[in-house]
A and B are shown apart, each in its own frame.
Chain A
Amino acid sequence: MPAAPHPAPPAPASAPSAQAPSALAPSAMARPFIRIEGVSKRFGSFQAVRDVDLTIGEGEIFALLGGSGCGKTTLLRMLAGFEDPSAGRIFIDGQDMTGVPPWERPVHMMFQSYAIFPHMSVERNIAYGLKHERMSAAQRADRVREMLDLVQLAPFAQRKPHQISGGQRQRVALARALARQPKLLLLDEPLAALDKKLREQTQFELMSIQSRTGVTFIVVTHDQEEAMTLADRIAVMDRGQVRQVGSPTEIYEYPNSRFVAGFIGAISTFAARVVRLTGEIAEVDIPAMDGTFAARSVPGLVEGQSVTLALRPEKISIAKTCPAAVNVVEGQVKDLAYFGKDSLYRVTLPGGDLISVHAVNARRADEGGRPADWDDRVWLSFEPGSAILLTD
């Protein structure tokens, strides 16, 4: 993960409602470069994007993450200028983009289908945007060569798009979008059309190209892993709204809502009630676990409040003997899946609910590596700091 290239000033309070109540330092963000202010988009009776506020820093890789129909692609198309916001304004580098047509925006897009011109060679595709630049033929040829080298396609310069592979086509699309040195590159599901092996390779290539060129990337994706590995910051979207903005760590470790907690990674959630607040720690009563447990408090909690306690499977320890820990609950293994390097347990809690527990198989299974088996009585424990309290 390339760090933001500039020293981090405090993040502006662009979307206070969506900021995580985070114990981490605010994620690093460079000079604000793109400002999205109260942007909404309506198609007939369908509200695709509703009142989105976002600030994106220069040189950042920013991911818009969400399921299909969450409005992430519409937001991207509004940045490119293919759609006009029904309300709100978009600023790129301080310039109001309202009414600016796509061909005058300092923004280029890499389309999900790549949209490579089929009747032009690789070279001419990459050169296409440059004909609108005031530059000599020699300068243009230099720039095309530079781009071909950047994406390692120099031997394929004269090929037609149908004569190269899908991965190569994707690199043509990237080179074409970068050729005019845009201030902002929009990537619509950049890895969706690639197979698994190529995805990982391309992912790192994208990141290295971004850090070499310093162009701000906005990536639209439905794949949380892709967003986590690529992006410096992520905006999680749902039904046209931004639910949370933060670094991958913030989003994963400090989700601000049940939606975000459930969307990113696996999680078990339980209804709970706050019994006592002592400094950093909130004691909560969890009927499903038949007891009172300690969790790190979040701002604004009051005693007696109903909350949700969420636990990631890998934050829970599983043992066949009762451990000396703050939060311990007894259960019975209902199911286990052995993946080799780790195992997933489904454990029945006293209240009858199931909880997922992830354990690394640090030793061979037949040498005590597997802490529990089917139907075993087990003790689960977790640190107060690992438990997530959600108030929504």
Chain B
Amino acid sequence: MTALAQWFHRRGWRDLIIGIPYAWLILFFLLPFLIVVAMSLATRTPTAPPFGYGGDNPLINPAGYARLFTDSLYLRAFLTSLINAGVATVLCLLLGYPMALALTRVSKSWRTILLMLVILPFWTSFLLRVYAWMGLMGRNSWFNGLLTDLWNLITPQAWALQSIPMMNTNFAVVLVMVYTYLPFMILPLYANLERLDPALDEAAMDLGSRPFQVFRDVTLPQSIPGIIAGGLLVFIPAAGELVIPSLVGDAAAPMIGRIISDEFAQARDWPMASTVAVALLVLMVGPTMIYSRFQARAEGAETDGAKP
């Protein structure tokens, strides 16, 4: 008892405070992940729950992982996910960078208002916003009609359309993902750009650089950490997105989130669903690791600088 009290007084609080987040991660992230990994190695059975180990089946059954590579459904789904998420990330960057830059250049009062507008959509239900887009993209909507008229105006007669087929396409998925995830690109970029010293821009200008060269030589290189952070915040959830492709996507070319969901709910193939989930995780961990290494190196360089 005294030993315990002693330990507690010496370093108990410190360990407790450091321990809580670790305990949380272990309990709610590592443990469930291990369960998923274990499930991915089980065999599908007509029981409840619908999987088992041993018995007539092998104790460890890696057949699912083989199927990932043999059944083109999975490879195509991964490819679709990566392309859709990649395109959405690049578009978010192209749209979000000027917005984030503009946020740092406007007056303080405008900045508050504009930042508010960036965050505002989160206050409406996500589903509601997706349904709103479905309404806009539908064949009989005014939005579709407007775009169709515009299309017919600028293209030759032969290409004339009744309406633009937007719903249930990858285009729709990317559009809604860009709309949904744009704030996740803007906010880290803004945080990064806002910290840059405006005197650096002036110094570059003073040394003969035009505004475009100032951006290329000074602003852009210094905002790479923000670009990477924003890119990961958009790319990772977009690659695993389930709701958006289910509601507006092309059912014939499903994304990986849809596959996982279908394997669980429709096919009741829990081992295969787990296998796909593990594969997705491995695919996503790669870029994250690269990012952490980048971050650690940048921070390491920063602390080195403390001693002249």
Q: How far is the CA of A290 from the CA of B305 in the complex (A)?
A: 65
Question: In the bound complex, do residue A102 and residue B308 qualify as a contact, i.e. CB atoms below 8 Å apart?
Answer: no
Q: How far is the CA of A132 from the CA of B197 in the complex (A)?
A: 23
Q: Which residues of B contact A109 (CB under 8 A)?
A: 202-203, 206
Q: Residue A111 at the B interface, CB < 8 A?
A: yes
Residue of A nearest to B222 (CB): A119
The smallest beta-carbon distance between B89 and chain A, in angstroms, is 23
Question: In the bound complex, do residue B305 and residue A160 qualify as a contact, i.e. CB atoms below 8 Å apart?
Answer: yes
Question: In the bound complex, do residue A115 and residue B305 qualify as a contact, i.e. CB atoms below 8 Å apart?
Answer: no
* B125-183 interface with A by 8 A CB criterion: none
Quick one: given A118-B222, A119-B222, A163-B308, are A176 and B207 in contact (CB under 8 Å)? yes
Question: In the bound complex, do residue B197 and residue A113 qualify as a contact, i.e. CB atoms below 8 Å apart?
Answer: yes
Q: How far is the CA of A116 from the CA of B305 in the complex (A)?
A: 14
Question: In the bound complex, do residue A117 and residue B209 qualify as a contact, i.e. CB atoms below 8 Å apart?
Answer: no
Q: Residue B210 at the A interface, CB < 8 A?
A: yes
Q: Which residues of B contact A163 (CB under 8 A)?
A: 304-305, 308
Q: How far is the CA of A109 from the CA of B204 in the complex (A)?
A: 10
Q: How far is the CA of A165 from the CA of B307 in the complex (A)?
A: 9
Q: Residue B243 at the A interface, CB < 8 A?
A: no
Q: Residue A164 at the B interface, CB < 8 A?
A: yes
Question: In the bound complex, do residue A180 and residue B302 qualify as a contact, i.e. CB atoms below 8 Å apart?
Answer: no
Residue of B nearest to A107 (CB): B206
Quick one: given A113-B197, A162-B302, are A119 and B206 in contact (CB under 8 Å)? no
Residue of B nearest to A131 (CB): B208
The smallest beta-carbon distance between B201 and chain A, in angstroms, is 9
Quick one: given A160-B305, A162-B301, are A82 and B208 in contact (CB under 8 Å)? no
Q: Residue A33 at the B interface, CB < 8 A?
A: no
Chain B positions 292 through 308: 1 when the CB is less than 8 Å from some CB of chain A, otherwise 0:
00000000011011001
Quick one: given A111-B199, A119-B222, A128-B217, are A80 and B301 in contact (CB under 8 Å)? no
Chain A positions 154 through 189: 1 when the CB is less than 8 Å from some CB of chain B, otherwise 0:
000000101111000000000011001000000000
Q: How far is the CA of A128 from the CA of B203 in the complex (A)?
A: 10
Between A101, A113, A115, the greatest number of chain B beta carbons within 10 A of the residue's beta carbon is seen for A115
Question: In the bound complex, do residue A103 and residue B304 qualify as a contact, i.e. CB atoms below 8 Å apart?
Answer: no
Q: How far is the CA of A103 from the CA of B197 in the complex (A)?
A: 19
Residue of B nearest to A105 (CB): B206
Q: Please, how many residues of chain B have a CB less than 8 angstroms from a CB on the other chain? A: 21
Q: Which residues of A contact B304 (CB under 8 A)?
A: 162-163
Q: Residue B286 at the A interface, CB < 8 A?
A: no
Question: In the bound complex, do residue B206 and residue A80 qualify as a contact, i.e. CB atoms below 8 Å apart?
Answer: yes
Q: Please, how many residues of chain A have a CB less than 8 angstroms from a CB on the other chain? A: 28
Cβ-defined partner of B209 (8 Å) among A82, A103, A108, A118: A103
Quick one: given A117-B203, A117-B218, are A103 and B308 in contact (CB under 8 Å)? no
Question: In the bound complex, do residue A102 and residue B197 qualify as a contact, i.e. CB atoms below 8 Å apart?
Answer: no
Q: How far is the CA of A368 from the CA of B199 in the complex (A)?
A: 57
Q: Residue B21 at the A interface, CB < 8 A?
A: no
Q: Which residues of A contact B207 (CB under 8 A)?
A: 103, 108, 128-129, 132, 176-177, 180
Question: In the bound complex, do residue B202 and residue A162 qualify as a contact, i.e. CB atoms below 8 Å apart?
Answer: no
Q: Residue B221 at the A interface, CB < 8 A?
A: yes
Q: Which residues of A contact B305 (CB under 8 A)?
A: 160, 162-163
Q: How far is the CA of A102 from the CA of B205 in the complex (A)?
A: 6
Q: Residue B191 at the A interface, CB < 8 A?
A: no
Question: In the bound complex, do residue A108 and residue B222 qualify as a contact, i.e. CB atoms below 8 Å apart?
Answer: no
Chain A positions 309 through 320: 1 when the CB is less than 8 Å from some CB of chain B, otherwise 0:
000000000000
The smallest beta-carbon distance between B233 and chain A, in angstroms, is 23
Q: Which residues of A contact B117 (CB under 8 A)?
A: none
Cβ-defined partner of A165 (8 Å) among B199, B202, B221, B308: B308
Quick one: given A160-B301, A162-B301, are A102 and B206 in contact (CB under 8 Å)? yes
The smallest beta-carbon distance between B224 and chain A, in angstroms, is 9
Binding site for A on B (CB under 8 A): 197, 199-200, 202-210, 217-218, 221-222, 301-302, 304-305, 308
Known A111-B202, A160-B301, A160-B305; further 17 A-B contacts with Cβ < 8 A:
A80-B206, A82-B202, A102-B206, A103-B206, A103-B207, A107-B206, A113-B197, A117-B204, A117-B217, A128-B207, A129-B207, A132-B208, A162-B305, A163-B305, A163-B308, A177-B207, A180-B208
A-B pairs with beta carbons under 8 Å apart, 29 shown: A80-B202, A80-B206, A81-B206, A82-B202, A82-B205, A101-B210, A102-B205, A102-B206, A103-B208, A104-B208, A109-B202, A109-B206, A111-B199, A111-B202, A113-B199, A117-B203, A117-B204, A117-B217, A118-B222, A128-B204, A128-B217, A129-B208, A132-B207, A160-B301, A162-B301, A162-B304, A163-B305, A176-B207, A177-B207
Binding site for B on A (CB under 8 A): 80-82, 101-104, 107-109, 111, 113, 115-119, 128-129, 132, 160, 162-165, 176-177, 180
